[in-house]
Structure 1
């Protein structure tokens, strides 16, 4: 396994739409394992393949407490039902140091394939529902900041440039 470099905003690969995975090969299984290792090392609760420069429909997530990890590997995930509203603070490994409140659905039902090729349907609420929506957005070329109003996007760009300058000075 390997820790992969995470792509950061405004890397153009983050804006591309991902291709479906037609066959679960050993290469896909290795990518999923590397992505999980990268996510845990970051640390984060989710990581989509575009965040490591690969535009394939693959996400890994773990929203469980650290004492009882529950890794989810979702291939070709899609949201098939949504309801309710949630307005929680989000961050992203591809936008380090920036957090904001984003409107999401509070309950989702998701369909995906696991590494064995089995179709899984799973209902999610709370952090897991937010994580599914956030990571699936990455597969469609969307970042959480794309959900902001025009005014807030402009504020984000200015603040993020300042965050990046501070991080460069710390290096």
Structure 2
């Protein structure tokens, strides 16, 4: 089922999310709904806070960010109770956007490489190092479960330039190609 994506201004987007266990009710369906919602919105990642759940869960499919013919270099995974263990490499800039903040993007500086520990949908623990675009998408979604939005990394001038747009999004004055839920 396609779920509404919570828009900028929703308090759940600014909360640090809680760990979950294998007994989390409806988890399998929730993950399926998150994949469907993300794909419907043409996203490459979606975190549970973006659908109103303050839990440490996100899905990533970075394949579409890779060059045509190299989509197989992407990552398609479910991350539960993730924890970034290490950041490495040079900090790199890349233009990011977010399904919760439609029509706004900006240059974000992030480490080129991360090592992260998480559990998959079967609660099997993994630790892996990701680089480049895969690391960037994972870091963006990880920030969501930490209550951080990509716009918090933007330069002050860029923030002043988008302030009015952010206010409009928080009031529901935005046209998105997918269902959104706004603050009342």
Whether 1:110 and 2:110 are equivalent positions in the alignment is: no
Which protein has greater RCO, CA pairs closer than 8 Å, 6+ apart? 2
Q: How does 1:126-137 map to 2 (within 5 A)?
A: 126-137=132-143
Partner of 1:97: 103
Q: Structure 2: 5+ residue runs without aligned partners?
A: 177-184
SS at match of 1:117: coil
1:37-64 deviations in whole A, cap 9, x for unaligned? 1111101000000000000000001011
CA distance in 1, matches of 2:25, 2:33: 12
1:61-96 deviations in whole A, cap 9, x for unaligned? 101149758531000111111112110000000001
| Alpha-carbon offset, residue 150 of structure 1 | 3.5
Distance 1:166 1:39, change over 3 A: closer
Partner of 1:88: 94
Scaled by the length of structure 1, what TM-score is found? 0.88
Whether 1:75 and 2:80 are equivalent positions in the alignment is: yes
Q: How does 1:3-42 map to 2 (within 5 A)?
A: 3-25=2-24, 27-42=26-41
More moved, 99-108 vs 61-70: 61-70
CA distance in 1, matches of 2:55, 2:134: 21
Whether 1:58 and 2:57 are equivalent positions in the alignment is: yes
Scaled by the length of structure 2, what TM-score is found? 0.82
| Alpha-carbon offset, residue 147 of structure 1 | 1.4
More moved, 142-151 vs 13-22: 142-151
Partner of 2:180: none
Partner of 1:141: 147
Question: Over aligned residues, Cα RMSD in angstroms?
Answer: 2.2
CA distance in 1, matches of 2:96, 2:23: 31
SS at match of 1:138: helix
SS at match of 2:175: helix
Aligned residues: 167
Q: Structure 1: 5+ residue runs without aligned partners?
A: none
